Amino acid sequence: MEFRHLGRSGLLVSEIAYGNWITHGSQVEEEAALACVRAALDSGITTFDTADVYAGTRAEEVLGRALKGERRQGLEIFTKVFWRTGPGPNDSGLSRKHIMESIDGSLRRLGTDYVDLYQAHRFDHNTPLEETMEAFADVVHRGKAHYIGVSEWSADQIRAAKPLADELRIRLVSNQPQYSILWRVIESEVVPASGELGLGQIVWSPLAQGVLTGKYQAGQQPPSGSRATDEKAGANFIARWLGDDVLTAVARLRPLADQAGLTMAQLAIAWVLQNPNVSAAIIGASRPEQVRDNVKASGVTLDEGLLAAIDEIVEPVVTRDPALTTSPGKRP
């Protein structure tokens, strides 16, 4: 496993991180979830990402149990706050009240005294940014988080937050966006702004919800039991990638993966890691063998010819519009 700095901070993270969105507490049973975390640890992954909203808070609990007994100083544990976690009017968003209450709930569920990175899961248009950043500063200064990050924030939102973080003497070091061979909306604005300001990307869905593994075929029904057939596993998220034009392009990547001596999944993960602003790629898994396959993308260098060939194949189906980096106009 290779390690990278998280933005321009001193924190090193495993360049492949393990995340439990959709899986833990919902798609897979706890025994399987624990086995996947064990496989991640055995493969050298030290960075684990979750959020309070995943599986209605259950994902944090499962991850906490899975990591119990591990040397805390040898792990980087990330979580997030924003989405609704309760019935009350203040149980969502980035108000001071919600942040201060949510960090305590996350720490309790994770079974730890602190998280290494606490992330704003979306931008809150209904709370003054100053209030949000001051609350994050108190979380850091009270020792409940070491660093602050954001997720799916636009370049303008990141530019507005960074000077406030600096003034409050906290380290805003990362953004967590969707990024893959097929989804490149961060490249034109978010990545340049982040590079300038010292933030690294912790990217999610590098496999485009599994489509880039090649398991889905044009003109065929999705395999039984796959994510595309399971509402709990995020079938609505994967639907955008299941058109025959996308699946045909993805199928044309297989000879390139074979040529490079990689599986399709390894090629896709290695591709996002070629971007120097990417600090880590988050993988998820329902089976330990998926983890063991994915981690082999660590340290892989794709040559310029291969990168150009990938671009030529997928260009007609790539999504690039930076305006697709959005947050809800109203609190969820």
Residue 54 annotated in active site: yes
Burial of 323 (0-12, 13-18, 19+ CB in 10 A): exposed
The sign of the dihedral angle between the CA atoms of 246, 251, 256, 261 is positive
**Strand residues in 53-199 grouped as ranges (E):** 76-81, 115-120, 145-150, 172-175
**Distant-in-sequence, close-in-space partners of 242: CB < 8 Å, separation ≥ 6:** 211, 216, 222, 228
Q: Are 57 and 105 in contact (CB under 8 A)?
A: yes
Out of 18, 54, 118, 216, pick the active-site residue: 54
3-state secondary structure of 107: helix
For helices 58-67 and 96-110, the axis angle rounded to 10 degrees is 40
β-strand pairing of 115-120 with 16-19: unpaired
Active site residues: 54
